[in-house]
Homo-oligomer: A and B are copies of this chain.
């Protein structure tokens, strides 16, 4: 039995999508075949509309359909902080967490020698002029080897520029048990531990980090880590 060419073409196009293998593509094609014409036209139109309307924000390279993206054009966001992420989807993940009120910078990739992606293929150069107004850059690329390499590259690039640099924390996921953490992560969770209080009666030991500031709340989110000596 030969498949009709337009079925073959549809399965081929669907199987180009990430995470959709040939069998899933075939299943999707048969599913689409059963749907009413309006549904197919709406999906087809949504694809074209999105391609026509959407582009990257010229400031932060997030996805937008306007001159500037919704974050960049919001004056209530903290203009002094820039969170550098790999992809537009990371912006959404962080926005959902509700923990960040600053701006973003989307690299659209990671440095990956294996895939021939060097720093010049990412939106890194456009980050530099933004440091005139920003005072802290959070390197929120992933903790994969390539995300780490990209963060290290940015750290070396930005350090001389006198900007506060930080890296998202390594550690245990919320809801995790120690015995299921890999040992590298566990080591990081220990060395990056968050101080919960300052031990007031203990005098500072020379050559060691001490935290003498008063804290108005117990929230360890805003806590301070101490070095793992």
How many residues of A sit at the interface, in one of the four size bands?
A: 35 or more
- Is B51's CB under 8 angstroms from A37's CB? yes
Residues of B contacting A99 in the complex (Cβ-Cβ under 8 angstroms)? 186-188, 190-191, 228
- Is B44's CB under 8 angstroms from A197's CB? no
- Is B33's CB under 8 angstroms from A28's CB? no
- Is B65's CB under 8 angstroms from A5's CB? yes
Chain A, 91-130, CB within 8 A of any chain B CB = 91-100, 108
Binding site for B on A (CB under 8 A): 1-7, 9-10, 12-14, 16-19, 24, 26-34, 37, 39-54, 63-66, 69-71, 74, 78, 83, 85-100, 108, 135-136, 138-140, 142-145, 147, 152, 155, 159, 162-179, 181-202, 207-209, 211-214, 218, 220-229
Residues of B contacting A202 in the complex (Cβ-Cβ under 8 angstroms)? 135, 162-164
Known: A7-B54, A44-B48, A143-B173. 16 other contacts (CB 8 A): A1-B69, A6-B52, A13-B47, A19-B27, A37-B51, A85-B178, A87-B179, A93-B183, A98-B187, A139-B196, A162-B202, A163-B202, A164-B195, A170-B194, A173-B173, A222-B227
Residues of B contacting A63 in the complex (Cβ-Cβ under 8 angstroms)? 4, 7, 30, 33
- Is B167's CB under 8 angstroms from A169's CB? no
Copies in the complex: 4
Can you list 29 residue pairs at the A/B interface with Cβ under 8 Å?
A1-B69, A5-B65, A10-B47, A13-B47, A19-B27, A33-B51, A33-B88, A37-B51, A40-B47, A93-B183, A94-B178, A139-B196, A140-B190, A142-B172, A143-B175, A155-B197, A164-B226, A167-B220, A168-B190, A168-B194, A169-B193, A169-B194, A171-B173, A174-B182, A174-B185, A192-B225, A207-B214, A223-B225, A224-B225
- Is A170's CB under 8 angstroms from B167's CB? no
- Is A174's CB under 8 angstroms from B143's CB? yes
- Is B221's CB under 8 angstroms from A187's CB? yes
